[in-house]
A and B are shown apart, each in its own frame.
Chain A
Amino acid sequence: AAGVIQSPRHLIKEKRETATLKCYPIPRHDTVYWYQQGPGQDPQFLISFYEKMQSDKGSIPDRFSAQQFSDYHSELNMSSLELGDSALYFCASSFGTGGTEAFFGQGTRLTVV
């Protein structure tokens, strides 16, 4: 069965550069979540989209932005990267919001040097 696809799997950027992470949800899923997991930390919710509209916002820095496109894929844009942005970024998708299982992608490991 098709799963959530994230690209790229690994990304190395320098400080102050920009990065774009992509997430392709499971077909027919209309909700996308973005999570950030730093070393030794629990996943932290960044932002979510339902039917192409932002549905909730967590601890996403102002330097980051995201959107969900008409085909339901989502992109997380990160600018002015800092060393502390190095983390595993997970995307999850679900059908509907709340009270339903979300399925995660393999994650994108971002390293800022």
Chain B
Amino acid sequence: DQQVKQNSPSLSVQEGRISILNCDYTNSMFDYFLWYKKYPAEGPTFLISISSIKDKNEDGRFTVFLNKSAKHLSLHIVPSQPGDSAVYFCAASGGRNTPLVFGKGTRLSVIA
């Protein structure tokens, strides 16, 4: 059973608007969450992370929100740009000696 779920396989947003990508997890042992961005034929690129002791982390246009009680996190991109078009993976980690667990990804298309 999937421990990290991204229920929206794709999302289209107009340039300049906000993109919101969602991720749910089931394992309460996860304490570190990351978002990766992936372009075709390239490896995932780390984007932003959040520790379970926080509920928000901001880096420029990217903000990640964590709701531990709902086991839900989201990535907000404001404003969205055409170069943001990529597949976004949510990943989670449960502490030392545990690997990252990935969701299936959400394909974001930002339309000019």
Contacts and interface: CB of A to CB of B under 8 A. Distances in A.
Interface of A: 4, 6, 33, 35, 41-43, 45, 48, 50, 55-56, 58, 90, 92, 96-107, 109
Interface string B1-32: 00000000000000000000000000000011
* Contact residues on B (Cβ < 8 Å of other chain), bracket: 20 to 34
B69 to A, nearest CB: 21
Given A98-B32, A98-B96, A45 B44 contact: no
B95 interface: yes
B33 to A, nearest CB: 10
Contacts of B95: 98-99
Taking each of B32, B36, B43, B94, which has the highest tally of chain A beta carbons within 10 Å of its own beta carbon? Answer: B43
Given A41-B104, A104-B36, A56 B98 contact: yes
Interface string B57-90: 0000000000000000000000000000000010
Contacts of A43: 44, 89, 102
A102 B100 contact: yes
A96 B59 CA distance: 23
